[in-house]
Amino acid sequence: MAELYPSLTQCAIVAAAFKILLFPAYKSTDFEVHRNWLAITHSLPVKEWYFEKTSEWTLDYPPFFAAFEWLMSQAAAWVDPAMLVISNLNYASWQTVYFQRSTVILTELVLVYALSRFIKTSSLMRKPAAHVASLSILLSPGLLIIDHIHFQYNGFMYGILILSLVLARKQLLASGFLFAIVLCFKHIYLYLSLAYFVYLLRAYCLDPKNVWRPQIVNTFKLGICVIGVFGVAFGPFADHLLQLKERLFPFSRGLCHAYWAPNFWAIYSFIDRVLISVAPRLGLSINQEALNSVTRGLVGDTSFAILPEITKEMTFALTLVFQLIPLMKLWRRPDWDTFIGAITLCGYASFLFGWHVHEKAVLLIIIPFSLIALKDRRHFSAFRPLAVAGHVSLFPLLFTSAEFPLKTVYTVFWLILFLFVFDRMAPVPERPRVFLFDRFSLLYLTLSIPLVLYCSVLHRLVFGSQRLQFLPLMFMSSYSALGVVGSWVGFMVVYFTT
C-alpha cells in the first residue's frame, strides 16, 4: 500500500495551490484577531499578554497558542513590521494578508503528517478506508471555509489531535502527552478530556485484565508528562492564573452564539420563536424583554419569550450526563475503536448541549468520526447526515456574494464525491442496519438541497437583502441541528450495539 502515500502528498500539494488562489478572498474578524495576537506577543513581555486590551480582540487562547503566535511574529517582523504594532487596529496590508494566509497552509503540514501516520498504522484490510477517510479530512470543506477563507488555525491543531488519536492505538503515553499539548493550544479540546481520562486510566494506568491492580510505573510516567506539559505552559503565568481563567472562560456570554450553532439549543430557540406567533391563540404569556434577545439573532444574553430559561448549570449537567453514558462502555471495553467512538460522542454531547457553542465546533465531531465512518455501513449511515448538516451549517460564515459559488460548489462536490466513495467502500455490518435511520439519512440529504437554495438565493429575491435577515439563518441552523441530533441518536444506537 506504499503507493497510497504519494497520493496523499499530491492531494496536499494541489490543495495548497488552490488555497493560495484564495488569498484575496473574504476574511472575517478572526484575521484581525490573530494579527493583534501577533502584535501583543511580539511587543509586550510575557506577563502582560493576557492583560492587554487595546483591541476588543484580546488574547483568549491558552499559553501554547500564545507562544505559537510569538514564534510566527519573529518571521512577521521581516515581512511587515507594521502588522506588529498593537495600535494598528484592522491593519491588513497585502504583505500581512499573504503572510497570515501562508502560515495557515504551512502549519497544516502537521495535519498531513498525522493523516499519513493514520494510514500507515492501519491494518492491511483497513488501509484503503483509512486513506479515503484521510483524504476527506485533508480536503474538508469545513477546514477550507474556517481556516483558509474565514481564517483560523484549526488544521494545525486537529493535526496534533489526530496524531494523538493514532498513537492511542499502541503508544498510550505519547498519546496522552500530545493531548495535553493540544489542550494548551486550544481549550475547546477539554470537551474530549473525559474520554481520554477513562481510556488512559483503564488501558494504561490499570491492569487490562484486573481493574483493581494499578500499574504504578505507568501512572507515574503519565502524571509526570501531563503535569510537565501544563507546568511549562502555565508556569510563566503563575502569578495571574485568575486573569487567564477570565480570558479563557468568559461565561458571561449567552447560551447561543449570535448565529445559532446547529445544536439542541437551536431547536429549542426555534420552537420558542414559533410559539411566540401562536401564543395569543394558545393563551401563553410572553416575556416581552426576551423579544430582543439572541432568539431574534441579535448579540446579547439569551432569553426565551415562552420556554423556560436555560442556565449554565443545566447545560453543564446535560453535557456531563451524555458524556458519561458512552464512557461506561469505554470503561468496560478499552479498545481503540471504542475509544474513537467515545471521543466522537463526547464531542456530540458538548456540541449539542454546551454553553455558547460556536458553529465551527462541529468539526470536533466530524473529524474523529471520519476515522471510523467506514468501519461498516451502520457507522456510515450515522455519519452521512452529520457530514451534510455540519458542513452546510458553516455556509453563513461566508455571507458575501463573491464566495457563494465557491463554498457551495466545493462543498457539494466534496459531499457527492466522498459520500459516494464512502457508500461503496463501507462493508456490510454483522448486525442488521436500522431501516428508519437509513431512510432518515436519505430524506435529510434530499431536503437539504432546496433549503440551501432558499437560504442562499431565493430569500433575497423574495424579501430583499434588508428584510427578515435572520430568517434564513434560523432555518439553516435549525434544519442543520435536526441532522446533527439525528446523527447523534443513530450513532448512539450503533455504538451500543456494536
Q: Please state the domain extents for the chain.
A: 22-248, 264-497
Predicted pLDDT at 81 = 95
* Beta-bridge partners for 206: 214
φ, ψ for residue 376 (rounded to 5)?
-165, 180
Average pLDDT, the chain: 89
Predicted pLDDT at 408 = 86
The list of the chain residues with pLDDT below 70 reads: 1-6, 252, 258, 288-302, 401, 431-438, 464-466, 468-469
Question: Which amino acid, residue 140?
Answer: S
- 250 close to 358: Cβ distance less than 8 angstroms: no
Predicted pLDDT at 299 = 42
Cα gap 154→143, rounded to integer Å: 7
- The alpha carbons of the chain give a radius of gyration, in whole angstroms, of 23
Lookup: cell for 218: 505507568
φ, ψ for residue 348 (rounded to 5)?
-55, -50
φ, ψ for residue 252 (rounded to 5)?
-70, -15
Q: How far is CA 4 from CA 116, 120, 129, in A?
A: 9, 10, 11
Cα gap 84→86, rounded to integer Å: 6
Percentages helix, strand, coil for the chain, rounded to the nearest 5?
Answer: 75, 0, 25
Residues 388-423 have pLDDT tens digits of 999 999 988 877 767 778 888 899 899 999 988 998
Residues 274-327 have pLDDT tens digits of 888 887 777 777 776 666 554 444 444 567 878 888 888 999 999 999 999 999
Predicted pLDDT at 307 = 86
Cα gap 383→415, rounded to integer Å: 12
Cα gap 194→199, rounded to integer Å: 8
